[in-house]
Amino acid sequence: MRFIVLRHQEEEGLGTIGEWLKSNGHSYFYVNLFAKQRPPANALMAYDALVSMGGPMSVNDDSELMNTSLALTADFVQANRPVLGVCLGAQAIAKVAGGRITQSAFELGFDRVSPVAAHRFFQAGKLECADWDVFQWHGENFSLPIGAEHLFSGSAVVNQGFTFKNAVGLQFHNELSLEWYTMWYESLRHKFENMDKLAPPSPDMPFASLKKNLFALLNTWQREWS
């Protein structure tokens, strides 16, 4: 399948999601919205699925970048195409599906979230129902749109993941590898406030767990729409 990927800032690419796409025979094309690139007018014809990555802006911003991102997300969600949203991308899915995006507790760093056992992804052994290691970096959060299924919950911020039609929204960043985390630590911690909680990179950080759980989720998601 052909994936179109919305990139809202230079430092937030696919991470290990790119590995998963390649290993499953999918291709992908970046649209670098931060560099004023725009999706092709025939995106729904040219691409089968969408990935929307994170960024420091708000989905409530009235900007060309955000309006472009939301419009394409809405097109793919309404067409019932596979859509994966990470952090800002998850909030975009929620917004175009009728949810609200509001200020939340500021979460930064490694944490754990809990699967919602009633979700179909965790039924009949499709996906292991155990707490996940995750990496958080957000100050806003989504409400669950009507028709969405709650996928993950957290202690400080309850709504950590959901599905809606063929879309999956994840508030957290499990696509991070040691390489990507190191780049974030070196290039982003001086750009934003409240970054003192960001710990120096270490091989002891749970990157293997982040990747293992993410790939298991993406495999389950793929079986739902393939």
Structural domain boundaries of the chain? 2-225
The b-or-e profile of 150-174 (16+ CB within 10 A means b, else e) is bbbebeebebbbbbbbbbbbbbbbb
Which amino acid would we find at residue 207? F
Least trusted range by pLDDT, from 20-34, 42-56, 122-136: 122-136
Least trusted range by pLDDT, from 60-69, 96-105, 181-190: 181-190
Gap between the Cα atoms of 188 and 137, Å rounded: 12
For position 188, what pLDDT does the model report?
82
Strand 83-86 versus strand 167-170 pairing type: parallel
pLDDT band per the 50, 70, 90 thresholds, residue 70: very high
For position 53, what pLDDT does the model report?
98
User: Of 70, 114, 116, nearest to 89 (Cα)?
Assistant: 70
Gap between the Cα atoms of 44 and 64, Å rounded: 20
The residues with which 112 forms a beta bridge, in sequence order, are 133
Tokens standing for residue 124:
């009949």
- Tell me what percent of the residues of the chain surpass a pLDDT of 90: 88
The residues with which 170 forms a beta bridge, in sequence order, are 86, 161
Gap between the Cα atoms of 132 and 43, Å rounded: 34
pLDDT band per the 50, 70, 90 thresholds, residue 192: confident
| DSSP letters for 87-141 | THHHHHHHHHTT--EEEEEEEEEEEEEEE-TTSGGGGGGSS--S-EEEEEEEEEE
Mean pLDDT across 75-83: 98
Per the model's pLDDT, the better-predicted residue between 162 and 129 turns out to be 162
- Is the model's pLDDT at 173 over the cut of 90? yes
| Averaged pLDDT of the chain | 95
Main-chain phi, psi angles of 124, to 5 degrees: 55, 30
Mean pLDDT across 203-225: 96
Least trusted range by pLDDT, from 11-25, 57-71, 123-137: 123-137
Tokens standing for residue 182:
């190191």
Strand 149-153 versus strand 167-170 pairing type: unpaired
Gap between the Cα atoms of 113 and 171, Å rounded: 10
For position 200, what pLDDT does the model report?
93
Architecture of domain 2-225: 3-Layer(aba) Sandwich (3.40)
